[in-house]
Amino acid sequence: MNTLRLTIKNKVGWIQFHRPEVRNAVNGKMMVELEQQLEMWKNDDNIRVLVLAGDEKAFVSGGDLTELHTLATAEEVYPVMSRMGQVLEKLHHWGKPTIAAVEGTAVGGGCEIVASCDFRLASAQASFGFIQSRLGITSGWGGGSRLLQQIPRDRALFWLMSGERFDAETAMRWGWVTQVFAPEVFKQEVQSFAEKLAQTALPVLRAYLQLSHLSSETDYTDWEARSCARLWESDEHREAVKQFLRRTGQLGGDD
């Protein structure tokens, strides 16, 4: 794996996003590798709990805008949004407990990955932001509809519409983050949390997850992919992306 780092301990599998040079932004290769690893570990009964993590600076900073910026039309970008949406749908229905372990920043598509997990654990220094609206688009990977199911509607709409960033304590107070841990013990606490789940028999874990989906499931993943693809063509989005890439040093001033 070139974009992921993998470890297994006490029936807990860790997938660490590893593209630190772009704050773990998702490119096509990462998308493929994540899907492959989900399929491989899904059928491995020695792994009962999955943890997705980044690093101390970033969980995932969304889609790789340098790569995506080459796509100009809805017809071009929709297959990419739809593909990642399908990967996260597989994650959401993985059949075993999944944990998003967020130490640093999770923004844009990073928050959509977080929303696709069963549990959200955060370091006290973590921060979040559904910043798609500030780029002139909507969520595109199914995370918006999941957020609306996970916290009260007014709070979810505020986060989605405003694009405002929020800290781990706010996310826990609003009912989205399960627990917040001190940075110096974060990984140990996540492993301990996961091991408590891993002690339960796999059929029991699967049954409760199935029950949770039966009580709340409506899939708007494709709607989000089409919405994001449609808005991708807008002048507002193109200008917002250009300014973002300039601020982060990924685009020259004359481009």
Q: Structural domains in the chain?
A: 4-199 (3.90.226.10), 202-248 (no CATH)
Handedness of CA 142, 179, 200, 36 (dihedral sign): positive
Please tell me the pTM assigned to this model.
0.87
Instruction: Please report, for residues 53, 59, 83, 230, the alpha-carbon distance to residue 190 in angstroms, rounded to integers and kept in the order given.
Output: 10, 14, 29, 38
In terms of Cα–Cα distance, which of 57, 52, 66, 51 is closest to 20?
57
62 touches 105 (CB < 8 A): no
Q: φ and ψ at 41, to 5 degrees?
A: -80, -20
pLDDT tens, N- to C-terminus, the chain (255 residues): 799 999 999 999 999 999 999 999 999 999 999 999 999 999 999 999 999 999 999 999 988 877 776 777 888 889 888 999 999 999 999 999 999 999 999 999 999 999 999 999 999 999 999 999 999 999 999 999 999 999 999 999 999 999 999 999 999 999 999 999 999 999 999 999 999 999 999 999 999 998 888 756 566 678 777 877 887 778 878 787 778 778 777 665 555
| Burial bucket for residue 196 (CB in 10 Å: 0-12, 13-18, 19+) | exposed
Gap between the Cα atoms of 91 and 178, Å rounded? 18
